[in-house]
Chains A and B, each alone.
Chain A
Amino acid sequence: MSNLEDLYREIILDHYRSPRNRGELATPPAHRVEGFNPLCGDEVVVYLDVRDGVLADIKLTGHGCSISQSSSSLMSGAVKGKTIDEVNATIDSFKKLMTVHESALAKEEDHDDEVDLRRLGELAALQGVVKFPVRIKCATLAWNTLRQGLEELV
């Protein structure tokens, strides 16, 4: 069952069981944005508190599978306190990780050209998702919602 363990890394299960930055922020001053996956009913609500070009705080609510919920949780930790430029760069890196073809994962050097796994830190735990194409939309739901929220704030 190596495949299944690629998908459900311990860090993912940990974030699923104990999601970080769970909750709501008062709106205003925070901005609220919702994302849905109409096919499976997954839902994420992101609260963004942006001050002076910095994502000062982020909270999330919603429900869904372990992949969508752990990805939300991991995302919140990765972007909180970062400048908006850094947040956007992280979103880009993560989304690139989700488009790397499975075969490229095996070849480390090719792969490193594409995505800097060190920069992604814990988020790299989600790379196994690409081996399960139908689950990619679960992993990217929170990220697409975050990007939508940032765009609405511009």
Chain B
Amino acid sequence: MTSFSARRVRADIPQLTRVVNGRTITYLDSGASSLQPRSVIDAMSRYYELRHANVHRGVYQTANEATEAYEGSRNAVARFINAPGGENEVVFTKNTTESFNLLAKSWGATNLKSGDVVLVSEMEHHANIVPWFQLRETTGIEVRFIPVGDDYRLDLSNLDELLKGVKLLSITGMSNVLGTRPPVKDLARAAHDVGALIAVDAAQMLAHGPTDVTELDVDFAAFSGHKMLGPTGIGVLWTREQVLDTMPPFLGGGGMIADVRTDGYTPAKGVSRFEAGTPPIAEAVGLHAAVRYLEGLGMENVAAHERTLTQDALTRLELTFDGRVRVIGPLNTIERGGVISLDVEGVHPHDVAQVLDQFGVCVRPGHHCAKPLMRRFGLAATARASFGPYSMTKDTDVLLEALEHALKMFG
């Protein structure tokens, strides 16, 4: 194991020196977007300063370098998630949402027919719900939901029944509201037992612990660069090569073809047929730097660090507020990550976030793009604090101080 120091990570993040409302910012919104280390920002700058050219076409030196940089990133991502087929299985998209749209509109529209079931859960982000509803409109599939129990975990007591007729189980690896980590590996086995495939929404996983798609035995994984210390504008859909080969192109245009004639076209083979148009090259370079940075930290170390932070925060929230601040999510760190949704007695989440902002604390109020889940618990919104590799207990100190102020102000 490499030695891990959150203090060192913090020193690598330029934005964490920012002063807002007279206080150095306390960034607790990594669930929405993580902050970038200097190495990511520098890699992108260097790319634009020295190596920029379009990819896959030119024969000159910098064009080759740009292509190598872009493809090198694909290779790094494949290694990072232990993709069995390597870089031939990594499709670059815009973000997790686009990855799910690609999955639904390419794989789903080709492989699913009326009456087939896509099984999701009540704790999914809208990105893993709406594309399936859209597919339902055109193909007549059924979209079924695994319920969430009062313990904020999936209620799997009726799983056998729920799996009947299922062709795809599409499930989050970690809830962006509750922090709950569903048992993806067990669910993969259950899905495969009934001949279904399984997709995992890994958006909240990549920067917070090891993500090994071979070990999890899933068939698809979707995630975003900007939630794993990388830039916005790039995401990934990973799937096994055998599955990828059955998927038709999603967007049409340049870069995704083998041939175009006046009577039609032939799509390219492999991942490039899903990447029409000039891709996000600088973003791929940034993502590569982010992967390198995370590998340097050691994802087991990051997971252990965030587990300690989360346990500390859950304990102190309970001790400090004695129920006036309720955690909407599991109260222990078993199968749980560092996303902590709060319901503050008598204070609306928007007011909580507004008061916290005065302390330089960045949290997110709202429904977190998970309205079915909010409905399930009778909430319109929560105020959500979420950790990253650079978070420290002093962030929790400021959070508690600011929450105390909010309670006093509205009490």
Binding site for B on A (CB under 8 A): 1, 3-4, 7-8, 13, 16-17, 39-43, 63-67, 69, 132, 135, 138
Q: Chain B contacts of A66 at CB under 8 A? A: 347-348, 351, 410
| A41 with B354, Cβ < 8 A, contacts A3-B21, A13-B410, A66-B348 known | no
Name the distance in Å between A32's Cβ and chain B's nearest Cβ.
Answer: 20
CB pair B358 A65 closer than 8 Å: no
CB pair B354 A42 closer than 8 Å: no
Name the distance in Å between A14's Cβ and chain B's nearest Cβ.
Answer: 11
| A65 with B348, Cβ < 8 A, contacts A40-B365, A41-B381 known | yes
Binding site for A on B (CB under 8 A): 21, 347-351, 354-355, 358, 365-367, 374, 380-381, 409-410
Q: Chain B contacts of A16 at CB under 8 A? A: 410
CB pair A43 B21 closer than 8 Å: no
- The residue that A1 contacts in the complex, of B348, B358, B366, with Cβ under 8 A, is B358
CB pair A64 B358 closer than 8 Å: no
Can you report 20 A-B residue pairs in the complex whose CB atoms are below 8 A from each other?
A: A3-B21, A3-B358, A4-B358, A8-B351, A13-B409, A16-B410, A40-B365, A40-B367, A40-B381, A41-B367, A63-B380, A64-B348, A64-B350, A64-B380, A65-B348, A65-B349, A66-B410, A67-B351, A135-B350, A138-B350
CB pair A42 B351 closer than 8 Å: no
- A147-B380 Cα distance, complex, nearest whole Å: 25
CB pair B366 A65 closer than 8 Å: no
Q: Chain A contacts of B374 at CB under 8 A? A: 41
Task: Knowing that A1-B358, A41-B367, A64-B380 touch, tell me 9 more A-B residue pairs with CB under 8 angstroms.
Answer: A4-B355, A4-B358, A39-B366, A40-B350, A41-B374, A41-B380, A64-B348, A69-B348, A138-B350
Q: Chain B contacts of A138 at CB under 8 A? A: 350
Question: Which B residue sits closest to A41, measured CB to CB?
Answer: B380
